[in-house]
Structure 1
Amino acid sequence: MTRRLDATQSGIATAASILRAGGLVAFGTETVYGLGADASQPQAVARIFEAKNRPRFNPLISHFANAQAAFTQVVPNAMAHRLAQAFWPGPLTLILPRAPGASISDLAADGLASLAVRVPANATALALLEQADRPIAAPSANRSGRISPVDAAHVLEELDGRIDAVLDSGPCTVGVESTVVDLTDPNTPTLLRPGGITLEELVAICPHISLPQTTSDVAPHSPGRMVSHYAPHLPVRLNALQAQPDEALLAFGATRPTLAPLVWNLSAAGNLEEAAARLFTGLRTLDREGQALGLRRIAVQPIPQHGLGRAIQDRLNRAAAPRPQDGTEDMAP
Structure 2
Amino acid sequence: MKTQLLPPTGEALSRAAALLREGEVVGFPTETVYGLGANALDADAAEKIFQAKGRPGDNPLIVHISSEEELAPLIAGEPCEAARRLMAAYWPGPMTLIFPKSPRVPERVTAGLATVAIRMPAHPVARRLIELAKVPVAAPSANRSGRPSPTTAEDVFEDMNGRIPLILDGGACGVGLESTVIDLTGSAPRVLRPGGITQAQIEAVTQTCEVDPAVLHPLGEGERPRSPGMKYKHYAPRGEVTIFHGPGTVREICNRYDRSEDALILALEGNLSQYGDRRIISLGPDARAMAQNLFGALREADRMGAKVIFCEAVEPTGVGLAVMNRLLRAAAFRVVET
Distance in 2 between residues matched to 1:160 and 1:69, nearest whole Å = 31
Q: Partner of 1:303 in structure 2?
A: 314
Shift of the 309–39 alpha-carbon distance from structure 1 to 2, 3 Å rule, reads same
Once the two structures are TM-superposed, the CA of residue 248 in structure 1 deviates from its matched residue by 0.4
Aligned 8 A contact 1:266 1:275 in 2: yes
SS in 2 for 1:116: strand
User: Do the aligned residues in 1 keep the contact of 2:146 with 2:232 (CA within 8 Å)?
Assistant: no
What TM-score, normalized to structure 1?
0.90
> What SS does structure 2 have at the residue aligned with 1:283?
helix
* Structural mapping, 1:267-306, within 5 Å: 267=284, 270-289=285-304, 291=305, 295-306=306-317
Q: Distance in 2 between matches of 1:282 and 1:7?
A: 26
Compared CA separation, residues 285 and 121, structure 1 to 2 (3 A): same
SS at match of 2:73: coil
In the other structure, the counterpart of 2:34 is 33
**Would you tell me which structure has more helix in proportion to its own residues?**
2
CA apart distance, 1:112: 1.4
Paired with 1:190 and 1:230, the residues of 2 have a C-alpha distance of: 23
Shift of 1:70: 2.3
CA distance in 2, matches of 1:316, 1:271: 15
- 1:54-86 CA distance string (max 9 Å, x none): 111111000000122123311311111110110
Distance in structure 1 (CA, Å) of the matches to 2:307 and 2:179 = 31
Please state whether the residue corresponding to 1:285 is helix, strand or coil.
Answer: helix
Is 1:253 matched up with 2:269?
yes
Structure 1 partner of 2:190: 190
Separation of aligned partners in 1, 2:287 and 2:122: 19
Q: Deviations over 1:281-310 (max 9, x none)?
A: 011101220x2xxx4410111213322111
* Alignment check: 8 A CA contact 1:70 1:119 kept: no
| Partner residue in 2 for 1:326 | none
Match of 1:118 in 2: 119
- Residue 165 of structure 1 is matched in structure 2 by 166
Q: What is aligned with 1:316?
A: 327
2:298 counterpart letter in structure 1: L
The question of whether the paired residues in 1 share the 8 Å contact of 2:62 and 2:138 is answered with: yes
Q: Which moved more, 1:212-221 or 1:226-235?
A: 212-221
Conservation of the 8 A alpha-carbon contact between 2:28 and 2:170:
yes
Corresponding position of 1:331: none
Q: 2:224 is matched with which residue?
A: 219
Q: Which amino acid aligns with 1:207?
A: Q
Identity %: 40
Tell me, in whole angstroms, the C-alpha distance in 2 between the residues paired with 1:7 and 1:29: 12
In the alignment, residue 248 of structure 1 is paired with which amino acid? Answer: L
> Helix, strand or coil: the match of 1:175?
coil
Instruction: Flag structure 2 segments of 5+ consecutive residues without an equivalent.
Output: none
Q: Which runs of 5+ in 1 are unaligned?
A: 324-333
Q: How does 1:143-182 map to 2 (within 5 A)?
A: 143-182=144-183
- 1:10 and 2:20 are equivalent in the alignment: no
Letter of the 2:139 counterpart? A
Sort the Cα spacing of 1:296 and 1:320 in 2 relative to 1 into closer, same or farther, 3 A.
same
2: CA distance between counterparts of 1:253 and 1:153? 25
SS, match of residue 264 in structure 1: strand
User: 280, 291, 294: which one pairs with 1:263?
Assistant: 280
